[in-house]
Amino acid sequence: MPITVFATLIDRLVCAVMLLGSPLSPLAASMLSGQFRFMAHPLQTIRQSWRHTLAMARAEVISRAIVSRFHPDQEVITGQCTHCGKCCLDKQCVFLVMSAEGKSSCSVHGGWLWTRLRCADYPVSGHDIALYACPSFTASSSRRPIIPIRRSHS
């Protein structure tokens, strides 16, 4: 089975399980993040978990993570994050916090969970940048231009 087909199947399976398990999302989000606020607002968290999962499915987060293990990107990424929040599942991540000024921050940043998520490495490629229309990073090929060798004639 080609890796892309396998990755897509796993992606759909994970998203389906997340949707079916959404009633447990307040408990899961609280346990994963150590934040009680998800348990304090269960209906809000369940609705946000639907948006989170649908955004994951649209962006094929799981599928891309699997494929990139077999085909690592070879691009040089430059830029500095301006905290627009787009790469956080198009602002739908359940752990995303937006300030009154419209700046994004991650409520699990640097923690055990975050270090295991693909978003911790964003962006790793031009495709990543295009996927969420990141306004702050650019990608270029890591291949150096080939400089012709000048041979000296004695």
CB 142 within 8 A of CB 74: yes
* CB of residue 104 to ligand SF4, shortest distance in Å: 5
Taking the least distance from each CB to ligand SF4, the nearer of 6 and 114 is 114
Residue 102 C-alpha from the chain's centroid = 19
Contacts with ligand SF4 by CB under 6 A lie at 81-89, 93, 95-96, 104, 106, 108, 114, 117, 119, 122, 132, 134-137
* CB of residue 134 to ligand SF4, shortest distance in Å: 3
Taking the least distance from each CB to ligand SF4, the nearer of 4 and 140 is 140
Tell me how far apart the alpha carbons of residues 139 and 153 are, in angstroms, rounded to a whole number.
40
Taking the least distance from each CB to ligand SF4, the nearer of 138 and 141 is 138
Taking the least distance from each CB to ligand SF4, the nearer of 66 and 131 is 131
**What separation in angstroms does the CA of 80 have from each of 7, 84, 91?**
30, 11, 18
* CB of residue 68 to ligand SF4, shortest distance in Å: 16
> Phi and psi of 104, rounded to 5°?
-85, 150
Please, what's the b/e burial string for 36-66 (b: 16 or more CB within 10 A of its CB; e: otherwise)?
eebeeeeeebbebbeebbbbbbebbbbbbbb
* CB of residue 42 to ligand SF4, shortest distance in Å: 19
* CB of residue 88 to ligand SF4, shortest distance in Å: 3
Of 57, 76, 79, nearest to 8 by C-alpha is 57
Taking the least distance from each CB to ligand SF4, the nearer of 74 and 80 is 80
